[in-house]
Structure 1
Amino acid sequence: MKEFTMHIFQHIPFLRVHAAKVGSVLDEWKGYKQSVPTFGAILLNEDMSQVLLVQSYWSRASWGFPKGKVNKDEDPYRCAIREVLEETGFDISRLIDKNDFIEAVVNEQTVRLYVVTGINTETKFQPRTRNEIKNVEWFPIADLPSNKKDITSRVKMGVGPNAFFMVLPFIKRLKRWIQEKQQGGSQVFRRNRQKSVGEVEVSQSKNKRQQFAQVIQAEMQEMQALKQMQELQAMKQDVHSSPPARVARRSDANSRSQKPSFKRQLFTDQLAPAPQQPQPHCHHHQPPHQQAVERNHPVRAKESSAPTRCDDFQFSAPSWVNFKFNRKAILACLEL
């Protein structure tokens, strides 16, 4: 293209002065070409199972929708009518709906295609332009590929997905449009009809990422809860697997309390439960140590047998609830 443009600039006098900057001129021209929007139509048969595609005269292996660039100050739907008439010879002016269209951005160029239904498959199409459209044919929508890796068209029609590269950006949205139209809910589609394919894909990928993050978070919480439950079960197993404490019952008929079945804790802050009737002195409940002191050392036993309060110094444990120590008697035994 650059070489051809340089020959043109050298042979045309008023362009010859710009021959030194052919590269920048071509770049500006390409930018302008991509900035001009393209309008066309998607022609569907009566039951919306087939779509009309055209094949370019120069690109023999590619198929696309009838469309073209808009002229200056031309309405988009009028541009679509004109392009369809030029490339197929069919007039859609009475069938087109200005509110039913699918718009996408393909190669930085805006492409809007108006959806037209109810076309008879027996219609004879005759392009009105020379050396622009080679073939006009109907294709089953179900056989068209949805992406570049979809080989449905190759299997069913013998045509690879690359031949429909201009159709791929619209197939998924066209199928949704047909499904909603058949269900009578086209308003949902119209609310999103002006979104480009890139915007739709970004929105879908964002929703998928959010859903994936929520699933991962839920699984982590579930695993954490399961881990905590397993730890609690392990603790319970450790407790139950320890040797059980011996259970003793008091000989007193009025008391039927049972010792707790857990490990002994000899020295705790918990005091022994108070008796039903207060006993001011503890000399009636002398431990064996004090009895031994009285037998061997009567004097020392007499000094140590002085009435003392039970709460002078007490040790209690869950496993020895009713056992009490006499501090003075123990000290007297230690002096021996």
Structure 2
Amino acid sequence: MAIYGTRTRNASGVITLDTSVTALRSIYTLQVTGNGAWDQYFSIPQIKANSFVVVQSSTPNSAGGIEAWWSTGTLHLRRAYSLKWIVKVLSFGDAQDATADYGIRARNDSNLVQIDNSNKAIRVASSGSFAIGRRGAGDYITSGGGTFSPAITTTEEPMVFLRSDTGMMVCNYRVRGSPGAWTGFTVDGWFGGAFNTLYYTVKWMVGTSVATSPPSGDYGIRIKNELSEATFNSNDNLILLSGGAPSSDRFKVAGSDIAIGSTLWSSFQMPWTGSFDDYFLASSLLPQFYDGYTIYENPAGFHVGNRSVLQAYSGANAGTNASGVNGRTVFAGRPMRAL
């Protein structure tokens, strides 16, 4: 069998990059500003047919949940108001970009890899776990989180991923720190319906697009941009997109709604990977959501023993079931090497 592309190993002989088996994607980051309209459309040529898009508020810990959909070359935002939004385009890196002057591109049949000064791979910067839920009668752990060690020095907010080996339902994602010194994150447990009695361990990892700057061994590949900043190091533990990137219209009305007081939480579900090893991107999925009248939690997670769907809820005081598609941005990821 012919092999095309690039393979690197570390001093112990462990493969650190293999373009024949590693579905490594790239990230292109930009910022858009709303014009106040309800529905807004932005031309973004970097969005290709197989891209996936993540949209986050440019103001950390605001009610920054937003509905987003995309098609080739176009981003559609609802309730963007006149705010600024960070847009991250993830792709196979299979197309030339006018701003990409330094890096590598490799092709292995349909597997395409590009890492350059504009499109950057995601690496694991820190990881850990914490418990949330009901330990006994009246005994609840209502929140948990993680500390980034060392602090993450990017200007843009880092990507935090969560998973559990059982069920989980969390909300109210908050990042700690500030641009250039992100120090950690916190989430709350959500206790609606069957999740009211659940006790579980949340496993987390945080990804950043900045490669390790100092040399980390005598083997591998390191790439720098025109400013001599390291943009890739094959000895880093890369975060891979798992099971394919979800499209922008897969969170659909499904499952059972939950009523809590005067709020009806409409149930949304997205087909998931089926694997308990896959994490979901929490930092774009779980921030609070402002519908123009009220700020709501944006809970999401997994039912016990089920990884065929990613479960989410959307609150409303109208008391009627939601209709259509929820445009939250999320994708599945896992570390290339065990944490």
Pick the TM interval, shorter chain. Answer: under 0.3
Structure with greater helix percent: 1
Structure with greater strand percent: 2
TM-score by length of 2: 0.21
Larger radius of gyration: 1
TM-score by length of 1: 0.22
